[in-house]
Amino acid sequence: MNYLKVLGSSGSKTKFSGTTSFQVYKDIVIDAGNILNVLGNNALDINHIFLTHSHADHITDLPFIIDNFFEQRRTPLRIYASKQTISSLKNHTFNNEVWPDFSKIKLLDSEEYSLIFIEINVDEPIYLDPLKITPIEANHINGSFGFMIEKENSNGYIISGDTHKNAKIWEYINKNENITALLIECSFPSNLGKLAKDSKHLTAKYLAEDIEENLKRDDLQIFIYHLKSSHYEEIKQEIIDRKLFRNGGKILEDEDVIHFDLRVTESNMISKDKFDKILAINLELSSELDKDKLFEMILTLTKELTHCEGGTLYIVSKDKKYLDFKVVQNTPLNINMGGTKDNITWNSLPLYLEDGSENKQMVAVVSALEKRIINISDVYNETAYNFEGTKKFDKSTGYHSQTMLVIPLINHEQDVIGVLQLINKTKTINHVIPFTIDDEKIIKAFSSQAAMALTNSLLINSLEEFLNAFVETIAHAIDAKSTHTRNHIGKVAKIASYLAQAIDSDETIYKDVKYSSNEFRQIELAAWMHDIGKISMPESIIDKATKLQSMLDRIEIIKERFEVIKRDYEISYLKNEISKDEYKKRVQELEENEIFVEKVNIGGEFMRDEDLERIKEVSKLTYKRDKETIPLLNEDEVANLSIRKGTLTEEEKDIMNSHAQLTLDMLSALPFPKKYNRVLNIASNHHEKLNGKGYPRGLDEKVLTLEDKIMILADIFEALTASDRPYKEGKKLSEVFKILSFMVKDKEIDGELLKFFHEHEVLKKYSDEELKEFQKDKSEVTI
């Protein structure tokens, strides 16, 4: 491949830039301004240095490149220059005063001198396989050259050297179509034109005039170098304003690599435009927390940055044994799988083989295991990895995978969390080229931010999963406190979720209500947490299945008392204290009272006044124990049996109802994130009423939100239809909506919401899933 590496590009030496030097082949350099800083120990490989002229910024490293590696060198360092330049070097540098004259010092263990000067002349080419290097005239000090570098069956280029306006350069270019690129100096801003002219350099103005006057071609790629650092930004802006770049050219930076056959440049420095784009992308990534959207975004943006046709994003599995496919994209094939689309069903890539050894067959796996970027220029000729899957894909789709770039995504803990695999970088449509070092650097910079964004998203997702699991676990624990209400919370969550989804999709009365995914989750979380206050409720109250239940159901004790009274009647009969008929009458009445007490003990929706009076009459019955006369029912038992609705006394109801306040207190202590800041109110308001007569805060319809109303209705509807209460069967829908309609009239619940729920298909959906068949009768809302 025909390429040039920029070792130094500046017209001034600074901490951040080196002076002119270009590596045109592995052992050939033009000028010696910055060889050592860039090549380091690899500078030992340099055997040929061509000098444009003798100014210090072009010869800086010459003394050191021979001195630093003198003991290791096995061949002479050859310097190619004009007669004037060689004379200057001998007289003023290698003169045994400023520096040893290495041209007279032999290599160790050799008869050859370590430094050889070779005089060259304009238009007399030097052939160093595979290059032909021809000195051309430069308009600078005496003995100055530019160089034309040519390679058989490849594009050639010219390096101008330091020069003022020079028609000769353009003559070479105009008459030789194989010269496709020019590297030309531009040292000063145009307002220093006189200085540039006197010192025989170019400004942007002079260069523009030279191009206008002399260039007869429109396909020449123009690169610019040798900008004086003190005027860099000013010169750069002039160059941009005058549009001096041509055909993909640029201002050269140290360590740029130009591929002349591909007409592309790899830059050590990320361009400002790309840097700004990466910054914008980073901001975009950091603001996206939805992991599926983020997966998709990372691959899409990576493709844009590298101009490639397709790619795959893998994520390391939770057990760290596989790379899971998350997103697959291919623009020519119109493939866009995973992410926010359907899940990918392809088999994951195993990181380890069955014997436990590392899987070194698959390129994406190797990139993950070895934490390195892998750049492949020809997939079908690559033997280090198994590409059978890629080839099978190509065969089935008619695609041709050629170039590939694989990048591990490494988080702040230096753990690989995923891999990006990019396919087929393109220069133009259907023109696939290799991924460049520039691509590697850009994607490496991007991938660290992508890994950070992914880590944040996955961490937040795992915290969400933990929160969900924790909340549901607590909810199940609360339900499990009672065998009679064990599914209440889950069913309320289901009703609330169904209702919210129905409202979100409605185009009638709720057409202006749209919920985000966070708002949906907020309602669902509130439903799962609405009874969290019950965690502190005594089990004797939560699980009180009958009116007389405490540690045990006291009805059994009362039944024993009935038996004692029956025994006393029998003794009175045997002693002839009462007649047989009286005895039978008393026993019959006693048995009827026992049946009555057992029945009222179960509890119900309503208790008649005459039943309350009968309990008082039954309580007057007495039995004897140790000659003491004792009432059949004590005051506490009478009070419990006299409960009109359900099984709880007023005191017990107060304790039970306090769970709403406890829910409020407990949730108030939790630092909910901003997106869940309404969970507290939605959860703790489920016993409020629109008329302000609910609890714990007595809020009314002016304060209660639609989400509060959803929770209120869900809680009541589940309680009415529940078939696991000990004192009642689940009500039929006709009964439920009759009761709910009355509650609307009493301004306890929202009538509009009730009617919507009754008419929407979600009622049938929930009924089919949770209600018994006898409950699903015809119903209506009358409000």
The CATH T-level fold of domain 481-514+652-775 is: Hypothetical protein af1432 (1.10.3210)
Cα separation, 376 vs 527, whole angstroms: 54
Q: What is the pLDDT of residue 87?
A: 97
The highest-level CATH class for domain 272-460 is alpha beta
Mean pLDDT is lowest, of 283-287, 410-414, 466-470, 508-512, for: 283-287
Cα separation, 557 vs 576, whole angstroms: 29
Answer whether residue 660 shows pLDDT above 80: no
Return the higher-pLDDT residue of 404 and 487.
Answer: 404
Highest mean pLDDT out of 33-42, 413-422, 470-479, 623-632:
33-42
Model confidence at 425, pLDDT cuts 50, 70, 90, reads very high
pLDDT in tens, 308-333: 999 999 989 989 999 999 999 999 99
Q: Which of 683, 692, 678, 650 is nearest to 664 (CA)?
A: 683
Cα separation, 640 vs 755, whole angstroms: 37
Do residues 285 and 397 lie in contact, with contact meaning Cβ atoms separated by under 8 Å? no
Mean pLDDT is lowest, of 192-206, 535-549, 701-715, for: 535-549
Cα→Cα distances 604→220, 538, 540, 610, 631, Å: 96, 22, 18, 15, 26
Cα separation, 98 vs 104, whole angstroms: 15
pTM over cut 0.75: no
- Name the token pair of 591: 């048995």
Q: What is the pLDDT of residue 559?
A: 87
Q: Where are the alpha helices (DSSP H) in 318-371?
A: 363-370
Return the higher-pLDDT residue of 268 and 339.
Answer: 339
Mean per-residue pLDDT over the chain, rounded: 87
Cα separation, 512 vs 751, whole angstroms: 18
Compute the average pLDDT of residues 620-627: 84
Answer whether residue 288 shows pLDDT above 60: no
Answer whether residue 268 shows pLDDT above 60: no
Answer whether residue 295 shows pLDDT above 90: no
Mean pLDDT is lowest, of 183-192, 671-680, 744-753, for: 671-680
- Please classify residue 528 by burial: count the beta carbons closer than 10 Å to its beta carbon, then call 0-12 exposed, 13-18 middle and 19+ buried: buried
- Name the token pair of 770: 């949770």
Model confidence at 285, pLDDT cuts 50, 70, 90, reads low
Model confidence at 140, pLDDT cuts 50, 70, 90, reads very high
Highest mean pLDDT out of 282-291, 369-378, 637-646:
369-378
Compute the average pLDDT of residues 86-110: 95
Omega cis (within 30) before 696: yes
Upper half-sphere CA count for residue 373 (Cβ side, 13 Å): 18
Q: What is the pLDDT of residue 171?
A: 95
Q: Where are the alpha helices (DSSP H) in 349-426?
A: 363-370, 388-397
Q: What is the pLDDT of residue 116?
A: 97
Upper half-sphere CA count for residue 69 (Cβ side, 13 Å): 22
Q: What is the pLDDT of residue 414?
A: 83
Q: What is the pLDDT of residue 276?
A: 60
The CATH number assigned to the domain with range 3-266 reads 3.60.15.10
Compute the average pLDDT of residues 530-543: 70
- Name the token pair of 223: 């690169």
Q: Are strands 179-185 and 156-159 parallel, antiparallel or unpaired?
A: parallel
Cα separation, 611 vs 605, whole angstroms: 14
Residue spans of the domains in the chain: they are 3-266, 272-460, 481-514+652-775, 555-647
> How would DSSP label each residue in 715-746?
HHHHHHH-S--TT-PPPPHHHHHHHHHHHHHT
Say which residues have a Cβ less than 8 Å from residue 200's Cβ, sequence separation at least 6: 139, 140, 141, 162, 163, 164
Cβ atoms within 10 A of the Cβ of 278, count?
18
Cα separation, 31 vs 33, whole angstroms: 6
Compute the average pLDDT of residues 457-485: 65
Compute the average pLDDT of residues 128-147: 96
Do residues 94 and 66 lie in contact, with contact meaning Cβ atoms separated by under 8 Å? no
Compute the average pLDDT of residues 41-64: 95
Do residues 574 and 566 lie in contact, with contact meaning Cβ atoms separated by under 8 Å? no
Say which residues have a Cβ less than 8 Å from residue 130's Cβ, sequence separation at least 6: 25, 151, 152
Cα separation, 768 vs 494, whole angstroms: 13
Q: Which of 269, 302, 271 is nearest to 285 (CA)?
A: 302
Do residues 49 and 29 lie in contact, with contact meaning Cβ atoms separated by under 8 Å? yes
